[in-house]
Amino acid sequence: MGKRVDETVQRLLSMWETGGFPKVVAKTMLARKAGERPCDTWSLANQILMIVSGTEDARGFDQWKKVGRKVKKGAKALYISGPLKKTITVKDEETGEERKQQITYGFKDIPVFALEDTEGEPVSATAPNYQPDTLPPLMDVAEAWGIKVSYAAGGDNYYGKYMINSDQIVLSTHDVSTFFHELSHAAHNRIRPLKGGQNPLQEIVAETSAAVLCLIYGYEGYVGHSRDYVASYGKVKPEEATKAVMRAMSDIEKVLEMILSTTKQTESRTA
Ligand SMILES: [Zn+2]
């Protein structure tokens, strides 16, 4: 095991140094599907709040009333964030023409309640299914560690997220590399508690580990993206990404050993 990890790490670093990696594949974000629940139009951040609080359907008091359900007494609201919008008149500097434009000038907290905290008519709304037809490799590791992995659409600035406190992963893409990245954060958190937010060292550990896993499982097209990501967190040029990896190396090895000693999926994809 140790030897395979070492060899693959070395292979990755020399690919990064020489730029000798396969053509990068484009990353893809899940397109939003029409759903019947109000949350199907929410931002990914709001959906994550909902998922983390343990429900798959949360709505406002009146939205529940509309479908014949009542919020149970004493139920605690969950607060999502909604934009405050207003219409302003703007004047075109060249033509002098005036037109109306809607702008967001702030955010407000909106109370919503979990389906489980309501009673009444049965709910028929179905949730769009964002699960890939084939789950990525290493899903058995998440399962072994009791990590819930959900897929959701509506992300604007990130493809996935590992929530430290609830130990859950939410993915807004089917790209295997993103799942590997979040799983690596989860492994890292099991080695030592992670700091919240985008911590550079943690990001370098997660992304480098994910790139090694991509090589092991046959998804080499993401290796170039990883180099850029690691370089940007290490504040170095892409060709110098390996420099950024050096001080994170011992954690990267621990993360990889932990993941690879847990999985039973040893076969790499036949591309
Ligand atoms: Zn990350």
Closest CA to 43 of 146, 153, 142, 164: 153
Total of domains in the chain: 2
Is the Cβ–Cβ distance between 39 and 51 less than 8 Å?
Answer: no
- For the segment 141-157, the average pLDDT, to the nearest whole number, is 90
State residue 43's pLDDT score: 87
Output the average pLDDT for the chain: 91
Give bridge partners of residue 118 from the DSSP assignment: 71
Query: pLDDT band for position 35 (50/70/90)?
Result: confident
What's the gap between Cα 216 and its chain centre? Answer: 22
User: Do 20 and 52 reside in the same domain of the chain?
Assistant: no
| pTM: predicted TM-score of the whole model, two decimal places | 0.85
User: Do 135 and 57 reside in the same domain of the chain?
Assistant: no
| Cα–Cα distance for residue pair 151/146, rounded to 1 Å | 16
Tell me the two tokens of residue 21: 């990696």
Q: Classify residue 267: in a domain, yes or no.
A: no
The whole domain housing 85 covers 38-120
In tens, the pLDDT along 40-78 reads 989 888 998 998 898 999 999 999 999 999 999 999 999
| Cα–Cα distance for residue pair 271/268, rounded to 1 Å | 9
User: Do 155 and 245 reside in the same domain of the chain?
Assistant: yes
- CA–centroid distance, residue 201 to ligand 1 (Å): 10
- CA–centroid distance, residue 165 to ligand 1 (Å): 15
Max Cα distance, the chain (Å): 71
Domain end: 99, 120, 141, which one?
120
Ion ligand 1 residue ranges (Cβ < 5 Å): 203, 206
Domain end: 85, 120, 155, which one?
120
User: Do 135 and 209 reside in the same domain of the chain?
Assistant: yes
Q: Does residue 269 carry a pLDDT above 70? A: no
State residue 270's pLDDT score: 47
> How does 181-219 read in b/e, with b if 16+ C-beta sit within 10 Å?
bbbbbbbbbbeeebeeeeeebbbbbbbbbbbbbbbbbeb
Query: pLDDT band for position 253 (50/70/90)?
Result: very high
- CA–centroid distance, residue 256 to ligand 1 (Å): 15
- CA–centroid distance, residue 180 to ligand 1 (Å): 10
Q: Does residue 38 carry a pLDDT above 70? A: yes
Closest CA to 195 of 259, 120, 128, 251: 251
- CA–centroid distance, residue 158 to ligand 1 (Å): 9
Q: Does residue 234 carry a pLDDT above 90? A: yes
User: Do 187 and 235 reside in the same domain of the chain?
Assistant: yes
In tens, the pLDDT along 96-122 reads 888 888 888 999 999 999 999 999 999
Tell me the two tokens of residue 263: 């999985």
Q: Classify residue 270: in a domain, yes or no.
A: no
